Structure formats: C-alpha cells, structure tokens
Amino acid sequence: MGNENIVLLSSREIEKMRQVGKLAAQLLDHLEKMVKPGISTYELNEEAEKWTKAHGAKSAPLGYGKPPFPASICTSVNDVICHGIPDKKQILKDGDIINIDVTPILDGYHGDTSRTFFVGTPSPIAKKLVEVTEECMYRGINAVRPGGKIGDIGAAIQEYAESQGFSVVRNFVGHGVGRVFHTPPQIPHYGKKGTGKKLRPGMVFTIEPMINEGTWEAEMGDDGWTAYTKDRKLSAQFEHTVAVTNDGVEILTLNR
C-alpha cells in the first residue's frame, strides 16, 4: 500500500468526522447504562439500532463484508477478541467483560469507536486487563505526531502491554476511516519505533488495541466473524478514531 492510497481529509471533512465521532461516543454512553447482569447482547444491539436511526444515522456494520455481518454493533464477551455477533441466547452475567464496538454513519462519514465494560464486579485479572488495554490505546494515541511513523504507535502499545504480562493481538489492526469504513493505512498495535509509513496531517485512522490475558493467537468461529483467543482466556479492546494534526493528534470519537 503506497502513500498514494492514503486519503488525507480536509478540515471540512475532519469536522464531519468530529460530528459522527461525537455521535458514536454518545451511543456508547447510552449503551453503557444497559450493561448489567441479565441483559442479552441482542437487546443491546436492538437498542443501538433504534437509537442510531432516531439520531438520523445508520449502522455501518449491518450487512458489511462477506458473509454480511448480521448486526448493528459488535458485542465481544470475555474470550472473544472482536466481531462478536449479538445473540438472544447470550445473557450477560456478573464478572463478564464486554467490548461494544459501534460505527454509525452520519452525512456519509463513519464514526468508529469501542470500549470494554465490566458486567457487575470484575475479577482482579479482568480489571487489570481492561485498565491496561485502555492505557495501551492512550499510549498509542500519544505516539501520533506529524513526521512520526506508524510503527511508533504499535511500539508504544506493545511495550506497555507486555510489561504488564499481557499480549497484543496480531491478526487485527487499526485502519484508515472516513467516507469508507476501512481504508489504508493499516495500524498494527505491535512493532518497532521508527518503522512504517510517515504520519502526515489530515490522516485519519483508528487505534484499537486488542490485548489478551494469555497468548496473542486467535481462532475464527464458524460464523466467519467471531474471533476467539486460542487459549480461551480473556481479551479486551478500546478504540478511538484520531486525526493527525499540524502539531500532534486529535481524538475524534469523544462526547464533547
């Protein structure tokens, strides 16, 4: 993927990304209130779809890809790394962790963000994993600056995750986003500082580290979407969409 494939967004387009990013953050805030023992992931999905439509947006995941993704959000519980499919039979229970990944489309632009929530009271290892994963995301974001390299992001994430005794998923990466859901550049969450493409103002992409309790290796489920940890230990994820600015980085998926 050469630099010519990377779309640089104008200030007008970045303002559109701020608007949809704020909407995405508000959707997660709304769903967070529902995350309690006894609720199904299907109910979370139905509420997300209803809320998204009520706010004049549509859900990018619904019907995306091959096979077409059958839901409006991804709900990844415990040992699911990402792309978990909401299900009536999947009832959240005390001690679970759940990543909810949302991408509304507003005025043609995608707002992509996710958070991992505790269901009731987490175990000490689950609590540590989720806290470390969120910190990994912010360390990755803080490594973004014009003239820096994509490898700086993954290096910052990997160094911290592994220093805490966890592993970084290799199979899934961050990505460019704007009018199109997934575009170049790819943003690995591991790597070496000073390697990869140069970061330039106007680049907009996700940083979405998936951090595992045990091995980083993944296995795909039969549905063609759900990714599990190979050892069936816990996995957590946090995601923001960011823009490279003239003097640093701006998080676009904030409720402000």
Report the binding-site residues for substrate: 83, 182
What's the chain's Rg over C-alpha atoms?
17
Consecutive H or E run containing 105: strand 104-106
**What is the spatial distance between Cα 205 and Cα 202, in angstroms, rounded to a whole number?**
10
Consecutive H or E run containing 148: none
Consecutive H or E run containing 211: strand 210-212
What three-state secondary structure class fits 65? coil
Q: Binding site: what residues are annotated?
A: 83, 101, 112, 175, 182, 208, 239
Q: How many C-beta neighbours within 10 Å does residue 31 have? A: 21
Q: Binding site for a divalent metal cation: what residues are annotated?
A: 101, 112, 175, 208, 239
Chain centre distance of CA 32: 15
